[in-house]
Amino acid sequence: MVEAIVTGFMGSGKTTIGKLLANGAHRRHLDLDDLIVQHASKTINQIFAEHGEAYFRALETELLSAALGQSGVLSTGGGTIGSEKNQQLLGKNEAPVIYLKTSFESIIERLNGDQTRPLVRKGTEALKDLYQRRRHYYEQSADLVIVTDDKSPEQIVNEIQQSIRL
C-alpha cells in the first residue's frame, strides 16, 4: 500500500513534492502520469490526440488502482480526482491524501508556455473553469491541505513531514 498520495491541480508541484517526500522517507516515488505513459508507450499528448480524454481517464483509473497497491509515495495526475471512481479508490486507501493547494495565478505563472499538457492548450479561461470545478474535489478528498504559494519545495515538504509520518 502506498504511504502517501499527493494531489493538486496541474502545475501545483505534485511530482516535485512527491519525489522529495519519497527520497526523504527512503521510499519509492510513483508518478501516475509516468505509469500511464509507460503502460501506453505513448506520451499523454499522443494518448489524448489518438484516443481522446475518456480513454486516458479509463487508463488512469486502471493504473491508479494498481499503483495504490504498491509501496511508495504516489503523485497523481491533476485530473485524477475528477472521477468518482478515483475518489472512491483514494478514499478507501489508508494513506494520507495531501492536497497541494495552489492559487490559479501561481498555476498560470508556472504553466506559462507549457505545451506538454493537452488541457493547457485550451486557453486560460478553459483552464480557470477546470480549476474551479476540480477545487472542491481536491479539498473533499484531502487529509492534509498544504498551501504552496510563495513556498519552496523544501518548505512544502517540511510542512508535510511535520504533519504526517512516512
CATH value at residue 8: 3.40.50.300
How confident is the model at residue 125, as a pLDDT? 86
Question: How is residue 45 annotated by DSSP?
Answer: H
- Chain-centroid distance, C-alpha 40: 19
In a domain, 48, yes or no: yes
What is the rounded distance in angstroms from the CA atom of residue 6 to the CA atom of residue 77? 9
Range of the domain at 41: 2-157
Q: Widest CA span of the chain, in angstroms?
A: 43
The whole-number average pLDDT for the span 58-80 is 97
How confident is the model at residue 113, as a pLDDT? 65
In a domain, 82, yes or no: yes
Check whether 80 has a pLDDT greater than 90.
yes
Check whether 52 has a pLDDT greater than 70.
yes
- pTM as predicted: 0.93
How confident is the model at residue 116, as a pLDDT? 65
No. of helices (H) and no. of strands (E), the chain? 8, 5
Check whether 70 has a pLDDT greater than 90.
yes
In a domain, 105, yes or no: yes
Distance in angstroms between the alpha carbons of the first and the last residue of the chain: 12
How confident is the prediction for the chain on average, in pLDDT? Answer: 93
How confident is the model at residue 121, as a pLDDT? 66
The whole-number average pLDDT for the span 12-24 is 97
How confident is the model at residue 108, as a pLDDT? 87
The whole-number average pLDDT for the span 134-150 is 96
The whole-number average pLDDT for the span 65-93 is 95
In a domain, 165, yes or no: no
Check whether 14 has a pLDDT greater than 80.
yes
Name all contacts of 18-23 with Cβ < 8 Å and 24+ positions apart: 18/73, 18/74, 18/75, 19/73, 19/75, 20/153, 20/154, 20/157, 21/73, 21/157, 21/160, 21/161, 21/166, 22/72, 22/73
**Domain count along the chain:** 1
**Which comes out higher in pLDDT, residue 122 or 69?**
69
Reported as a pLDDT band with limits 50, 70 and 90, residue 20 is very high
Share of the chain above pLDDT 90, in %: 84
In a domain, 162, yes or no: no
